[in-house]
Structure 1
Amino acid sequence: MNLEINEVSKMVLTSAVDIPIVMENNLMCEELIIDIPLVIEPVQWRECCIYKVPKKLRQVNKEAYTPKLISIGPFHHGGKDLRGEKELRDEENENVPMDMEMLKVRYFKDFCYRTGKCQKEIARIIEENEVKIRHCYAEISKLNSEDFVKMVLVDSTFIIELFLRSSQENEKRSQENGPFLKNDARKEDEKDYILSKPWLEYGIKQDLMLLENQLPFFILKELYDQISYSGKNNKISFLFLDLASCGYFSFPKSNIPDGKEVKHLTDLVRYFYCPSIQYNKGSTITHLYSATKLHRAGVMFRNIKRVSRLLDIQFKKLPLLEISPCFNISWFLNCLPCLKCFPCLESMQTLLKVPTLIVDDATEICFQNLMALEQCHYPSESYICNYIMLLDYVINTREDVELFVENKIIINKLGSNELVATMVNDLGLEIVENHSYYGEMAKRLNEHYENYYNHNMGTLTSTYFSNLWRGILTVVGLVVFGHSIWSTIKPFVTHQID
């Protein structure tokens, strides 16, 4: 199949342009002829949603955007980038990429067996959508029509088959000795190559979230919908969206916002992090005090215990505390934390409620790809970028991370609080913002810290009432001090009364 898009990509016209050179004395000198190639400007189609990561972001951490085990789509097809340079190589095992390509073909054959469909019948679905699939990529693929269809066919069926096997494996684990779903492509006593190796399953799951390693979601869904009924009329009862989100990535079941469609798997991951709270766009954050400084000024950090999206950050401060900060009883609750179970007393504090963030080896790569997607496709809805930039301001040192860990806002699986602080600060490099959904919140936090009473009351609380025993010692010290003063002035007072 000859496509117009392939012809357009190779079209380069050269024309001679006459440029007259005019001197200061308005005398015309000889015409200078310069050959300027008229290169056609790249077309960004309406369906475009899969991008090569911009160089400025890539230079921060190139490895974060390159698949390590398995390539999906044209950008890293066959373990090479668009320029044909080799990548996707394991230094200790040079055969890993080749093994993965062979494994994808095996999954494709098992997928055909599972569905009872012949290869040509499945390939026809890809062929009918080839142009639309090509339009989803920001850069034109050099693959011809036949190779492009084969690549999408093998990669897409691999993803669907992997998701189905993972779902069946989860069901088997939940029901001990339970049978596989009907029409399973494998024998019951045969272990799946990927799912039987946790390190491989974990690595492939990371690769499937990379922005450059994607297939359009619509073709995965269309293939899945076409084969919902197998040759034995065994209906697959769950939707592909649930299969991908709940079955494979283990996200809690949640609805995609109305009017939104999932572009690809990276986009799917982003939707499950986006806030459910409606924030108003504000100006970008230019200054915000660190977590330890805010804590010393009386801001209490709490993790949101109920099920919540990661970006649902809330700043709670009663109007009464705005008028009269002396009603802040954080010092009292620090000494008697058991009283925090009373909502009326808890609400008398200035609270910053933040959902729990689990930091592990995959966190940095995940956020960098989500931020790259927003920089390229969602510049006006950059929720993830705004969240990371907010963390970048409040987390500067090991002490800031330690405060978050103590309040169960961060679960640190890296082992070092210093590493978490460095990771957060590096995530904000080369990120461009033109607004922030947390701009108004940052403004209120700065105003709270800069209030003279809040600043001094917070310092008093953290110094003398940080826990029960220190509070008791402070009270005893005040009583002894008061008694000493009274003992000193008592003779003079009694003398005056006499």
Structure 2
Amino acid sequence: MITDGCFMLEIMRTVTSGEKNNGYAPDDPIFSIHRLEYIAPYIKRDMLLLENQLPLLVLYQLVAIANDGKEDNVNELIGKFCFPHEKKEFKGLDSCLHVMDVFRQGLLMGPKEVEDVRKEQDPRPQGHSEEAEPIIRSANEFSEAGIKFEKSKTRSLKDISFGGVLKLPLFMVDDTTESMFLNVMTFERLHINAGNEVTSYVAFMDKIINNEEDVALLHTEGIIQNNFGSDKAVADLFNSLCTDVTLPFNKNLDDVQQKISKHCKTRWNIWRANLNHNYFKSPWTILSLIAAFFLFALTIIQTVYTLLSYY
């Protein structure tokens, strides 16, 4: 544990220092700047495996020993390492169990937002709400019903809202996404007080992503950054994450789903969705519809002239 803890602290220190010369030889197989550019993402992935977690108390004690009794903010160091391009404030976090716990709270944190994300569980049964279960359609079906998509103001996975426009946080999908989500979701399942926000986010995305067309729409709206592969690969990824997973109850997302379901059930939006699906799906159907209206207009004009000539 001491060896692993020292290695983790040194990796995070060298990666986040931003120094061109970190004190290691240019040909060092691990800590050279050139080498760290390639292996740091994979070290981060391994650090987030549930079976690789060290008690954060070990890192606290190692830092205190290295600083002659002065405790440095380990949470902030982990935050800078895991979220290098985001301005998140980790100084106010406490009572974290390990690196994954800090990382999970970072996923749910907006810029300069410090809060305890461990909420009390809702007393209602998981997966059920007081109202009837809403029908969640895919992103393209939302679009056909007149629902627009926008990026949320933050990248917090909790920042999902609906008020005629469905706002979702920007999320980047890459080779480490599957491993990260599976481990964080397992952590939420195993620890009663951890919360279920990440699992709820993945379940919601699984519902609105059915195929590559849904991914392409969300990518066009700037909600999903695809560094993983094809749009189909991203769709398959989200569809596989919730296999055999009991979907948790989340009050915020349940409210969003109820509002979306109510919006889609209004008569005008049903007609609009049917028109978009049946007549505006391709240029040929649009041309056919225009031609039909044109012929109908000509028929009316001909009928009017016939009546006028008769009278």
Task: Tell me the TM-score normalized by structure 1.
Answer: 0.51
Q: What aligned pairs does 1:453-464 form with structure 2 within 5 A after superposition?
A: 453-461=268-276
The 1:257/1:483 distance shift into structure 2, 3 A limit, reads: farther
Given candidates 155, 171, 176, the residue that maps to 1:308 is 155
Tell me the residue number matched to 1:269.
103
Amino acid at match of 2:30: Y
Length, aligned pairs only? 294
Tell me the residue number matched to 1:239.
73
Counterpart-to-counterpart distance in 2, 1:414 and 1:493: 67
The 1:288/1:422 distance shift into structure 2, 3 A limit, reads: same
Tell me the residue number matched to 2:30.
193
Given candidates 122, 136, 152, the residue that maps to 1:288 is 136
Counterpart-to-counterpart distance in 2, 1:312 and 1:402: 21
Counterpart-to-counterpart distance in 2, 1:267 and 1:472: 55
The 1:258/1:463 distance shift into structure 2, 3 A limit, reads: farther
Tell me the residue number matched to 1:107.
none
The 1:252/1:155 distance shift into structure 2, 3 A limit, reads: same
Amino acid at match of 2:267: Y
Tell me the residue number matched to 1:403.
217
SS of residue matched to 2:50: coil
SS of residue matched to 2:225: strand
Post-superposition Cα deviations, 1:102-131, rounded to whole Å, max 9, x if no partner, equal xxxxxxxxxxxxxxxxxxxxxxxxxxxxxx
SS of residue matched to 2:167: strand
Q: Is the 8 Å Cα contact of residues 375 and 432 (structure 1) preserved in structure 2?
A: no
The 1:463/1:436 distance shift into structure 2, 3 A limit, reads: same
Residue 158 of structure 2 corresponds to residue 158 of structure 1? no
Tell me the residue number matched to 1:120.
none
Deviation at 1:271, TM superposition (A): 0.7
Q: Which structure dedicates a bigger proportion of its chain to helix? A: 2
The 1:464/1:257 distance shift into structure 2, 3 A limit, reads: farther
Q: What aligned pairs does 1:328-477 form with structure 2 within 5 A after superposition?
A: 350-378=164-192, 381-437=195-251, 438-461=253-276
Deviation at 1:212, TM superposition (A): 1.2
Q: Is the 8 Å Cα contact of residues 215 and 235 (structure 2) preserved in structure 1?
A: yes
SS of residue matched to 2:107: coil
Deviation at 1:226, TM superposition (A): 3.3
Amino acid at match of 1:363: T
SS of residue matched to 1:272: helix
The 1:157/1:205 distance shift into structure 2, 3 A limit, reads: same
Post-superposition Cα deviations, 1:406-436, rounded to whole Å, max 9, x if no partner, equal 3222222232222222211211123234522
**What RMSD over aligned residues (CA atoms) do the two structures have, in Å?**
3.7
Q: Is the 8 Å Cα contact of residues 242 and 253 (structure 1) preserved in structure 2?
A: no
Amino acid at match of 2:34: S
Given candidates 46, 59, 62, the residue that maps to 1:223 is 62
Q: What aligned pairs does 1:61-76 form with structure 2 within 5 A after superposition?
A: none
Who wins on radius of gyration, i.e. which is larger?
1
Deviation at 1:166, TM superposition (A): 1.5
Counterpart-to-counterpart distance in 1, 2:109 and 2:246: 20
Deviation at 1:365, TM superposition (A): 0.3
Deviation at 1:494, TM superposition (A): 6.9
Deviation at 1:373, TM superposition (A): 0.5
Query: What runs of 5+ residues in structure 2 fail to find an aligned partner?
Result: none
SS of residue matched to 1:414: coil
Q: Is the 8 Å Cα contact of residues 211 and 235 (structure 2) preserved in structure 1?
A: yes
Counterpart-to-counterpart distance in 2, 1:480 and 1:411: 45
Q: Is the 8 Å Cα contact of residues 298 and 455 (structure 1) preserved in structure 2?
A: no
Tell me the residue number matched to 1:488.
303
Counterpart-to-counterpart distance in 2, 1:444 and 1:262: 35
Given candidates 250, 253, 261, the residue that maps to 2:87 is 253
Percent of aligned pairs with the same amino acid = 24
The 1:446/1:488 distance shift into structure 2, 3 A limit, reads: same
Counterpart-to-counterpart distance in 1, 2:228 and 2:93: 38
Counterpart-to-counterpart distance in 2, 1:247 and 1:441: 33
The 1:477/1:275 distance shift into structure 2, 3 A limit, reads: farther
Amino acid at match of 1:300: K
Task: Tell me the TM-score normalized by structure 2.
Answer: 0.78
Deviation at 1:371, TM superposition (A): 0.2
Deviation at 1:495, TM superposition (A): 5.6
Deviation at 1:240, TM superposition (A): 2.5
Q: After alignment, is 368-377 or 392-401 more displaced?
A: 392-401
